[in-house]
Amino acid sequence: MVWQQGKFQVDRIGALVVGLLIALAGQLDVCALLGLIFIYPIIGQIITGILFSRGANFIHDLFNRIEGLKAPE
């Protein structure tokens, strides 16, 4: 998504940088919350930053799908 029609999309790069900065500075790791633990925690933080860069709607839809995968109690 950063590279489209033969050129860089500056707004998407900016969103990616902001998402990564927030996740890394806050040591946020969505993967760890979901039980997916990496040997190097920074990998989960980078994935979280990339997910954040996609926006609130994407995150909301992702969590709804994950919630739908849970077994009913």
Integer Cα distance of 15 and 49 in angstroms: 9
* Long-range contacts at 11-19 (CB < 8 A, ≥ 24 apart): 12/53, 15/53, 15/54, 15/55, 16/49, 16/50, 16/53, 18/52, 18/53, 19/49, 19/50, 19/51, 19/52, 19/53, 19/54
pTM metric for this prediction:
0.76
Q: What is the mean pLDDT of residues 27-54?
A: 91
pLDDT grade for 40, boundaries at 50, 70 and 90: very high
Does the pLDDT of residue 63 top 90, yes or no?
A: no
Which has the higher per-residue pLDDT, 14 or 5?
14
